[in-house]
Structure 1
Amino acid sequence: MSDQPGSGGEAAGVRGFWERLGLPGLVDVHTHFMPDRVLRKVWAYFDALGPLTGGVEWPITYRQEEDERAALLREFGVRAFTAMLYPHKPGMAQWLNSWAADFARRTPDCLHTSTLFPEPGVHAYVREAVEAGARVFKAHVQVGAYDPADALLDPAWGLLAEAGVPVVIHCGSGPAPGKHTGPEPVARVLARHPRLRLVVAHMGMPEYEDFLGLAERYGEVRLDTTMAFTDFSERFAPFPPRALPRLAALGDRILLGSDFPNIPYPYAHQLHALERLGLGDAWLRAVCHDNGARLFGV
């Protein structure tokens, strides 16, 4: 059956992938739901992204309305997903957290997601979100243009480490480097908070090996697969084949992420890109479901 977006066989193709592995479905730790006017701005950014990726166009594949996107993930068999949202300036995070808490209440299969920004009061609103049931946080170093080791964030990182709440952090320098992207600022955070459950988004693209090194050093560091290994990303940020044994060895701390809906290809392509790495069915089962299910108690 076809797995092209919008085709009758798209959901069947995705379900066929995890059914073959004997899984009950997928756990996707990197999907985006956010207030509509914010999401429209994000899509406008990607529509104009060509120059930042060497002229490569980035069409949004799943530009449906919110309820249609959530329904499509369910059709794919995604048992749990996230509402990755993030501020680009001070004074925005609390509003986003309020929206995300409401979205989680009306979308039970979405893990209650929150975010943060280096600003006065961040510790208080992070505590408030954790006490309200937030199960995962999103930090976007590139868009927020902040140093994750900023002293303003230090108490919040400590709180999240103590609470054991994972943080999906976009800190690699892809698709375009920022002032504070790369492994060094994150290494400084982990030196202070070694128990912090950081999930490095996009496998740390393009600094894959540096971020694998942080995961090897810190037992609570994980990486998500978002867009890594796909034909799209391999064109400008190829994963080094020499690092595949390290990727295999960290199989219990690699998590499926897709970047749905903001991807320039069908959802199934991320799954097929993982399969063609040749790391085996046990690795795929762990990455596509078991690791995320264990981390979030799904």
Structure 2
Amino acid sequence: MPSAATGARGPAGSAGPDEAGEVRRFWNGLGIPGLIDVHTHFMPERVLHKVWAYFDAQGPLTAGLQWPIAYRKAEEERTSLLRSFGVRAFTSMLYPHKPGMARWLNDWAAGFARRTPDCLHTATLFPEPDAEAYVREAVEAGARVFKAHVQVGAYDPADPLLQPAWGVLAEAGIPVVIHCGSGPAPGEYTGPGPMARVLARHPRLRLIVAHLGMPEYEDFLGLAERYEQVRLDTTMAFTDFTEELMPFPRRALPRLADLGDRVLLGSDFPNIPYAYTHQLRALERLGLGREWLRAVCHDNAAKLFGL
């Protein structure tokens, strides 16, 4: 079982005393103006606390792993911490686990974006009859990125109820960060097959595959190689925690390097069991070079979102 303390700068789930300084030294060394993190979680506090409780209880979707939340802080503290790190822009990844949740989550996220200008206005969706309507409403209200979670929602992303919504997002060019890989625990509809069916129908859909699609890394690299609008985020990939459980195949690193213009930094902040700096150092130690790191940590997202 992976140790939550591995790669952290202190006891399990904790960070060092000068973490902000360490993060800033990292990106200053790359010559970029800060970081853009496309996979951070902000949601209504009572919903987030339920998520934390699920991790604490080692629920089935966590594969029974010990998963202490490193940044279990109030909303204002979490936004302040990201700013102290020099994160120029971040997201409020939120997702429904049943029908009837998405619209009110989108209402909350719109309010959060209004009071948090460095947050990219985020929205979500679920396969239900009014999905197209509220997705269109969110786009018209200024949503810049969507979140979908196939594992938690336990739905087929190729469900006919979602097809019109995917069409709206493809037409609008709005990126969708989607947890569709089978890690840390597989679901009925996780894996590359369902996403391949979605992309066959909506090839212009700007999908950002969360967690590099772990553990089906190579299959999702294949989708990105086939569809020019498919991207991947680095969330939790290459960290000691993940490498013990779902290691990235080193034979695939050249393919990841070749897709360097379509890989984006993601962290899963605050729901990570190690220090934020560890994600950055895990990417650095791949040895793919400064230009690759610059693109992943800032430039690719800056271009995608016009920042």
- Equivalent residues in 2 for 1:166-205 (5 A)? 166-205=175-214
Whether the 8 Å CA contact 1:29–1:224 is kept in 2: the answer is: yes
Q: 1:166, 1:198 within 8 Å by CA — same for their partners in 2?
A: yes
Q: Which residue of the other structure, out of 249, 252, 267, is the alignment partner of 1:258?
A: 267
Question: Do structure 1's residue 64 and structure 2's residue 77 form an aligned pair?
Answer: no
Identity within the alignment, %:
79
Task: Write the mapping of 1:34-49 to structure 2, written as runs, cut at 5 A.
Answer: 34-49=43-58
The corresponding residue for 1:243 is 252
Cα distance in structure 1, aligned partners of 2:182 and 2:211:
10
Answer yes or no: is the 8 Å Cα contact 1:3–1:14 preserved in 2. Answer: no
Query: TM-score normalized by structure 1?
Result: 0.97
Structure 1 residue 43: deviation in Å?
Answer: 0.4
Deviation of the 1:48 alpha carbon: 1.8
**Please, which of 152, 156, 165 is the counterpart of residue 156 of structure 1?**
165
Per the normalisation by structure 2, the TM-score is 0.95
| SS of aligned partner of 2:293 | helix
SS at match of 1:252: helix
For CA contacts below 8 A with separation 6 or more, give which structure has more relative contact order: 2
Q: Give the partner amino acid of 2:169.
A: L
| Residue 131 (structure 2) aligned to one of 122, 128, 131 | 122
Judge conservation of contact 2:158–2:198 (CA < 8 Å) in 1: yes
> Once the two structures are superposed, what CA deviation does each residue of 1:224-248 show, in whole Å capped at 9, x if it has no partner?
0000000000011000000000000
How many angstroms apart in 1 are the aligned matches of 2:114 and 2:99? 26
Look up the match of 1:286.
Answer: 295
Query: 1:52 deviation in Å?
Result: 5.4
Mapped to 2, the partners of 1:52 and 1:28 lie a distance apart of 24
Contact 1:94 1:125 in 2 (8 A): yes
Deviations 1:169-225 (A, max 9, x none): 000000100010000000000000000000000000000000000000000000000
Aligned-partner residue type, residue 213 of structure 1: G
Across the aligned residues of Structure 1 and Structure 2, the Cα RMSD in angstroms comes to: 1.2
CA contact (8 A) 2:55 2:62 kept: no
Where in structure 2 are there 5+ consecutive unaligned residues?
1-7
How many residues end up aligned between the 2 structures? 297
1:106 aligned partner, one-letter code? R
Q: Distance in 1 between matches of 2:256 and 2:304?
A: 18
